[in-house]
Structure 1
Amino acid sequence: MTTAIIGIGNLGSRVARNLVQGGEPVILAARDQSGADALAGELGALASSATVADAVSAADTVLFALWLDTGKELISQLSQALVGKVVIDPSNPIGPDGQGGFTNTLPEGESAASILANLLPAGAHFVKAFGSLGADALGSAANRPSGRAVLFYATDDDTAAGTAERLISASGFDPVKVGGIESAGRIELMRGDLHQNGGLGGRLLNVDEARAAL
């Protein structure tokens, strides 16, 4: 089982490192192909690089580590190539607030996950995952000595749930499901009560704490 990671910024590169360390093969693709090539070379034998189209074609799972608007555009372009794939969305619906900070870019009650899920073709398996922690915590808290931290996920799809649990575990975290896509906003910035840098105020939760918070 191979995971394509589209986008190798802070989050995409962290997820790639964690998956490789957990024994999962990855294919990296990015607008800057040379950057994907370099990261794959650094990560070793379990990592390779390809164009976006080739990475999606060769993978079982596709993680779009992109800004929401870029993800919307790319998913629309790739549409039929995603049939049968597990699609992972870690995005957060945020943008500049004009005052040096960030704000939620979506109306109340709408999530990035609900938007992207509706763009997918029938036969794709969608899950919101790998976005409930900041990129720094994805790196520093993986396999933490004090006990694994939780990464939340949300999906209505059993196939996607199984894949998310496997990849989250391989990444050095414990998976906890918050519910279906209607609950995905709980793990997105800025409004999510279960996002590390939202309602959790920077805290990392263990499994017991996470289940109590649900």
Structure 2
Amino acid sequence: MATIQTTLRSRKRETERSATVMSTAIIGLGNIGSRLAKNLVTGGETIIVAARTPDEAEEVARDLGSHAEALTVEDAVAKADVIVLAIEFDAIRQFLVTHREALAGKIIVDPSNPIAPDGKGGYRKTIPDEQSSGVLISGLLPARARLVKAFGTLGAQSLEAGANRSPERAVLFYAADDAQAGEVVARLITVSGFSPLRVGGIDQSIRIEVGGDLHEYGQLGKLVSAKEAVSLV
């Protein structure tokens, strides 16, 4: 028993060390990307930011201070171990084609929701109702890249208002097939001011996309604490 416990503690320390040295890039600095960048920097994380134009990334990095570095998209992909694709679903699919070779071995974080304006003041799903953007993106990844679905379960306003909530932190759900990749992203969720809660593998991504039972703009409809969320998962 003692040997098993020692081994488990050793593995935990190895995971924590690997997570600590991993560099994180946020590509796309719209509402979600810029808010996530701010939350991570507030939590003490040093990050890379990249956008369509260098000027946009440099402006965001200046606002964030010394914990943020602006790079081109190509340089961010090359340098980072964890890449958050805070861009639209269709743009992610093209991104994975363009940067396929450079993404091998990386942890890819997908916060996307496959929606578009419906022309009536609302939104419509851009893929069949039974499909998930997380599952589709997973099928497009290059060899050895690992996908985690995260940071897309709340709107930008709730990502701001809910960060570091007290007395009980709000939950950010995530889905991952690879346990270590999931733990790395869970640490980022914690640093960003939320409690991480895994809903299962990537095949459960649809639950944490818009319209899903665990999404703010779905059946859940609100921020929940870890205590409240456990019974939902």
Common fold by TM > 0.5: yes
SS at match of 1:147: coil
Query: Residues of 2 paired with 1:41 and 1:2: CA distance?
Result: 19
Name the TM-score, length of structure 2 as normaliser.
0.89
Residue number in structure 1 paired with 2:60 = 39
Query: In the alignment, is residue 154 of structure 1 matched against residue 175 of structure 2?
Result: yes
Offset at 1:158?
1.4
Does structure 2 conserve the Cα–Cα contact (< 8 Å) formed by 1:2 and 1:24?
Answer: no
1:123 aligns with 2:120: no
Give structure 1 stretches of 5+ with no counterpart.
none
Task: Extract structure 1 runs of 4+ deviating beyond 2 A.
Answer: none
CA distance, structure 2, for counterparts of residue 26 and residue 54 of structure 1: 13
Match of 1:213 in 2: 232
Which residue number corresponds to residue 188 of structure 1? Answer: 209
How many Å apart are 1:32 and its aligned residue? 2.5
CA distance in 1 between counterparts of 2:35 and 2:152 reads: 11
Q: Which amino acid aligns with 2:231?
A: A
Contact 1:86 1:159 in 2 (8 A): no
**In structure 2, what is the Cα distance between the partners aligned to 1:145 and 1:178?**
23
- Which residue does 2:119 correspond to in 1? 98
Q: Deviation per CA, 1:26-61, whole angstroms, max 9, x where unpaired?
A: 111111321110110111111011110100111110
State the percentage of identical aligned residues: 50
Q: What stretches of structure 2 of length at least 5 have no aligned partner?
A: 1-21
Answer whether contact 1:168 1:175 (CA < 8 A) is retained.
Answer: yes
User: Residue 156 of structure 2: which of 135, 142, 151 is its match?
Assistant: 135
Tell me the residue number matched to 1:197: 217
Query: What are the superposed Cα offsets for residues 50-101 of structure 1, whole Å, 9 maximum, x if unpaired?
Result: 1101001111100000110011101111111111111000000101112121
Residues matched between the structures, number: 212
Q: State yes or no: 1:164 paired with 2:185.
A: yes
Match of 2:135 among 107, 114, 118: 114
Match of 1:23 in 2: 44
Structure 2 SS opposite 1:66: coil
Alignment RMSD: 0.9
Deviations 1:97-136 (A, max 9, x none): 1212101111122111011111111100110000111111
**1:27 aligns to what SS in structure 2?**
strand
